[in-house]
Amino acid sequence: MPSKKSIKTPKVSFREINTIALPAIVAGIAEPLISLSDIAIIGNVEENAVEALAAAGIVGSFLSAIIWILAQTKTAISAIVSQHLGSNRLHAVKTLVPQTILLNFILSLIIYFVTAFFAELIFSAYNAEGLILDYTKSYYKIRALGFPLTLVTFAIFGVFRGLQNTLWAMKCSLVGGAVNIGLDFLLVYGIEGFIPALHLEGAAIASVIAQGVMLVMALYFFYKKTPFHLKPSLKINPNLKPLISMAANLFLRTLALNIAIYLANSYATDYGKNYIAAQSILMNIWLFFSFFIDGYANAGNAIGGKLLGAKAYTKLWNLSKDISKYAIIIALILAGSCALFYDEIGLIFNKDEQVLLLFSSVFWIVLIMQPVNAIAFMFDGIFKGLGEAKYLRNVLLVATFLGFWPTLLVLDYLGLKLYAIWIAFFVWMLIRSLALVIKFRNKYLDKT
């Protein structure tokens, strides 16, 4: 009989985790990278740079909110595909995939037309006014044309992730990001005598073209590399109802998440244009970090769903420990790198002294919260793969309405302004991480 020491602990290998996580990091940062490049280039335009930067930040946050809310079918289809892959039953979801993608496309068209029509009302609710409001409306109405492209692309990315492949999404995102940055310089600044400088609207056009390129590439990989197709079936797949239920719970969860982001931007706009300009930089860096760390959450999502389908609970427990460790290391590297170039980072996005002063005064809070973010995002990904959408919904509702909002109200009353916003975000992330760790430990430790 072998000794306990000789028994190999069932684990997912480092290589298997990173085969999914590393490409997912690149794929995941595509949207925030587009927003960051827009902000960096727009913020350095000589004419009305602060107002343009504020407008780009508001629109970027709103678009991220809408995409996060409505792209939950990406997570749901990923979880269902991965669980069926683990139980060797992929044939059962062949008609589900085209039905999900079509659902995403129709929903995105409805949301685009509604939000474009009510753009002034929406961005007035962010306390935007005057030139900032004008810039915000014109930028949004162009950039939101890419919204249906993005949602369909994300649904396809969800299928890829369910199949344990994030490399195809990474290739699409790399090319899309490169196209966006190149066109940003070309269309924002223009070429004298050849291409007029389109400023903020040029950045919006660049984003739409980049999103179109990503969709074309995603469709190529979908047809060439996966066992699925896009032919819609009139017979509703039996997995569509649970997918919609999961997506609906994740929808409410993400709605709560974006209420927090909306409140943050609304308060910052109310403080003044320099505050919302600084908040735009802080928020987009935070989002960039979040999507970067989320690569390991995506690995947890894909592999966790597969392990649940195979009922490999010990490997699932060990996966959570390993991915937590890797995510924290990534978070510390990101925070440490930014700490080394603390003052220089703000200069990438804007040269206004007041904006930079506000940014520098609060940026340290964004950095110290990154390890907490890593734990929250990583378990968030695993719980999505396990189909625990209802619990994720409840955690976000509690964190937002009993953590973030009360903290923001109290600290705003005390006159802390941007400090109030980012301390509230820190409290929000602490609640999220603790609730997920405790739940996972209680549910799965005894099954190992």
Output DSSP code: residue 237.
P
CA-closest candidate to residue 282, choices 116, 399, 421: 421
Largest Cα–Cα separation, the chain: 82
> Which pLDDT score, from 0 to 100, does residue 1 have?
44
B/e letters for 291-302, b = 16+ CB within 10 Å, e = fewer, are bbbbbbbbbbbb
Rounded Cα distance, 46 and 63, in Å:
25
CA-closest candidate to residue 161, choices 88, 114, 258, 226: 226
Rounded Cα distance, 57 and 264, in Å:
12
What 3-state class would DSSP assign to 43? Answer: coil
Q: How would DSSP label each residue in 113-160?
A: HHHHHTHHHHHHTTT--HHHHHHHHHHHHHHGGGHHHHHHHHHHHHHH
Rounded Cα distance, 202 and 56, in Å:
12
Rounded Cα distance, 431 and 392, in Å:
12
* pLDDT mean by block of 10 residues, the chain; 448 residues: 51 82 76 70 71 81 74 82 88 92 88 89 85 89 89 91 90 90 88 81 90 95 93 87 86 86 90 89 86 80 82 87 90 93 85 90 96 93 86 95 97 96 97 95 78
Q: Which amino acid is at 66?
A: I
> Which pLDDT score, from 0 to 100, does residue 5 have?
46
In degrees and rounded to multiples of 5, residue 133 shows phi and psi of -65, -40
In degrees and rounded to multiples of 5, residue 195 shows phi and psi of -125, 125
> Which pLDDT score, from 0 to 100, does residue 30 have?
66
In degrees and rounded to multiples of 5, residue 414 shows phi and psi of -80, 0
Please give the model's pTM, rounded to 2 decimal places. Answer: 0.75
